[in-house]
Each structure stands twice: as C-alpha cells, then as structure tokens.
Amino acid sequence: MRGTNGRPRVIFSSPGSLSMSAGARLVNVYLEGQGDVFSLKGAGASANDVIVKGTTNALACYLGGGNTLTNSLCWAATGAGAAAATDGSNTFRNDTLVGGSQAAIQGMARNGPFPIPTCNCTAATDTLRNVIARSAPGGHDILASSDGTATMTFDVTFSNYATTFKGQTPSKDFINGDATDQTAAPVFVNAAAGNFREKAGSPTIDKGVNAAANGTADFDGDPRTVNGRTDMGADEFVPAPTAVTGVATGISKSGATLNGAVNPHTRPTSYYFQWGSSKAYGHFTATKSAGNGTIDVPVSAKVSGLAAGKTYYFRLVATSSAGTTQGKDAIFKTLSSPPPKKSHFSGAFVAKGSAKVQNGDAGVRIACPKNAAAPPGGGAKTCTGILTLKSAKKVQTSTGKRRIKLGEVSFSILAGKKATVLVPISSDGQNALAKTGKLKAKAKVVSQDGAGTQRTRTRSIPLKLKK
C-alpha cells in the first residue's frame, strides 16, 4: 500500500489491525485504531512515512522480525499501551515512538511457544538510529525482555531516550547506547494534540547521523537533511527563512535600490521590503518569490518618488510556511540638491590578517574608523553593513570545482572600535577547510555610517581551523 510522500496520506481507520506480510511495503499512510493497530509480521516487510495512533491500552506498532520502520510515528495515545513492540531483530531509523505508561519500545526475544508470534531464536537485536523514544510517566523509554533462554539486545546510537528497563532475566537483556545518544527531553510543537514535529530549540535538531538509509524525506515530505545534518525522530525541523537586510545602492535624489539576501531553507518563500521615513515604515515593495532552495538568494527592489536629501529606513521580510523573519533595520539618505559635501567616511575594514574557524564560525576582526558620521539629528556614530567571505580560489564541491561563497553576516560597530564578527561557514567551505586546516578567502566589507555614506573595502585573509 503506497501513498505519495509529501502529499495527503491514505487513511486507514479500523477497530482491527493492518498486518503486512513478508516483502510488503507501506508508505505515506495514516492508521488509527483500537487494539494492535499496525504490524509488520513477515521477513523483509517494511514501512516508511507512516503515522500510527493507538487509541486504547494496546499496541500501536509491532515488528515481528526482519522488519524495518523509517521516518514514521508510532503513538500510544491513551492508557498503558506501548508505541512499539518487537520480536526478533528489527531496524528503526528516524522514528518517533511515543508510548503510554508501559513503554515507548519493548523488544522481546523468545525461544519457545507463546500465544503470540515469537522469533523462536536464541538472540535478537533491535537497531535504533536517529530515534526518539519517550514513554508516559511511569513507563520505560526502552524495555528489553527475554524469556530467559534467548538474549535480547538494543543497539542504540544517535537517539533520544531517558529511561531503560531490563525484564524478567536482566542477565539476558542488554541496552547498548553510546555518547551520541541524548537524554534531554525533545521539544515538540504540541505533543498533547499529537503534533510531534520538532519545535525550535529541541535538542534533537541536527543531532542524528546522515546516512542513505535514512531516505530523502521526513514524514512531512521535507528534505531528510536540512542545515547539513539529519535530525533525530520522524520530523526534520525546517527553520523560518533567513532574511538579511543589505545596503541600498543606486541612490539618487528620488530613488534607490534596496538589497538583501534570503535563504528559504527548503520551503517556498516570498519576500518584500518595508521602507519609509521612520522605523514605522508605511510602504512595501511588491512581494516576490525567493524559491525553495537551501542557499542565500540575493534579492532587490527599487523604490522611487523619494524626497531629496532625506533619510529613509528599510528592512527585508521573508515568509514561508515555517514562519516569517524580519531582517535588521538599515538606512540610506537620498542625494541632496545640490550634492552634499564630500564625506570623509573611509568605510569599515578587516583589521586582522587572518581568521580562526571554530565550531563552524570564522571570527573576522572588523574595525569601524573614527571618521564615521552620526545619524541625522544626533546619536551614536556607527558602521553598519555586510561582511561577505568567498573562496579566493576554486575548491572542490559536490557539484564540481568552483569558487564558492563561504558565508555572509551583518554587523554594527561603534566608530573607533573593533569587533570580532562571527561568519557561519557553509558546508562546502567547512569540507574544504577540513582537508588542509586552512583556506584563503576574500573578504568584502560593504558598510555605511550614520549619515548613510556607503563604502566598500576588500581584503584577502587566510582562514585557519582552530586546534
């Protein structure tokens, strides 16, 4: 049975159980019912992108041996039920298992007759990768149980769980985790209502392990890997789009071009600029599309009909289904008539000949000269602008050898002061750095002072990994 990933799900609702036999595959289906809701009982049977809700004290998902469950949610919504139970050896990958007061997942190894299907084996191993396993209060997140003659083992890495329990024969039950696992509770959008999508700040975001076996999409149809690292659980957190307000260019007595950059983070994203003679704005440019990619997209919009010699404020706004992001405020001043006196502002610049990279960020020392002017009407003298890093030479990427944009960030520094600006380095840039520990970059600093005078300065700097 197969739906289409990312499209509305096939719905199966019944007081009975849906059972998949050997070699069968279930994709993009929602199941809800009483009793044992969903079972994979034949060797080679598998399911991907499945949501299972059990509404009684019984079991949501059962895997009977030689089965694989990926990118799926098993939820024992009421009572003492378990989210998942197994016999034999099975694989769980990028699943969210939310149990009742019994367990999130219970693995069983049975070498003898029982009233329900057993593995009839001497050893069974359940493999958990990128799994969130959480039970209700009083329950166990992972429960290993054997009949005393067989051995039950959980092999758990890159997963989120807190409580474990060994059953009737502890000497035959093993729950083997490692330092990649975490115990801090995941943060869901609304767990009580069954919304087990990750919320911003959840410890599970970007803490899974990347692997082809994870598949290409989560249970919402979003890319399985966002921001370079797979999440734990069935959901892949997609952040709201990034909106970086740039500087105005082409400034005349009556118009200017507003610039910025938008990163859609995989969701279809639109953008526009707010602008006006104060931070209340009051004007909007036309809404346009920034696409649904994963890299920064340069965007711009022209404004006209402005008054000569007047200061204007603007900011970039980007919106997707993941949320709305407002960029920082920026200003520019239209040309006066006659033209204003020549400014002495020399522009912010890179003040140190190298930068160290730590935790994916390059710390670049930027200085704001003392000759930066204050805003019209008074206030602090500052340099505001954008620092962009690009590779000075071609580097190897997944799409070939080319010069790449390493990162971009906005800054604001007081006149006569220096500050270390942290630039998030792209995944291609980090891969290039990892090979030799250093990478030559070209830094471009576009800045303006409080009066709106704009300057651009460049400098070549080596980036070095901090040991």
* Domains defined along the chain, listed by start: 10-230 (2.160.20), 242-333 (2.60.40.10), 349-465 (2.60.40.1820)
| Segments of 102-163 assigned E as strands | 103-109, 123-129, 132-134, 140-146, 151-157
Arithmetic mean of pLDDT over the chain? 91
Q: How far is CA 173 from the centre of its chain?
A: 35
In order, the DSSP letters of 8-55 are PPEEEEESS-EEE-TT-EEEEEEEEESSS-EEE-STT-EEEEEEEEE-
pLDDT tens digit sequence for 107-120 = 998 876 554 445 66
What's the pTM value of the predicted model, to 2 decimals?
A: 0.66
Instruction: Find the distance separating the first CA and the last CA of the chain, reported in whole Å.
Output: 52
Residue 14: pLDDT over 70: no
Q: How confident is the model at residue 341 (pLDDT cuts 50, 70, 90)?
A: low
Window from 111-125, 187-201, 300-314, 400-414 with minimum mean pLDDT: 111-125
What pLDDT digit, counting tens, does each position of 380-394 carry?
A: 999 999 999 999 999
Contact call for residues 245 and 328 (beta carbons, < 8 A): yes
Nearest Cα to 67, choosing from 140, 119, 130? 119
pLDDT digits (tens, 9 = 90+) for 45-77: 999 999 999 987 779 999 999 999 999 999 999
pLDDT at 186 over 90: yes
The β-bridge relationship of strands 323-326 and 311-320 is antiparallel
Rounded-to-integer distance, Cα 324 and Cα 163, Å:
37
Integer Rg of the chain from CA? 28
Q: What's the pLDDT at 383?
A: 94
As a 3-state breakdown, the chain gives helix, strand, coil percent values, each rounded to 5, of 5, 50, 45
What's the pLDDT at 337?
73
- Cα 308 to Cα 279: distance, rounded to the nearest angstrom: 19
Q: What is the pLDDT of residues 131-144, one digit of tens each?
A: 999 999 999 999 99
Mean pLDDT of the region 299-314? 96
In the chain, % of residues over pLDDT 90: 73
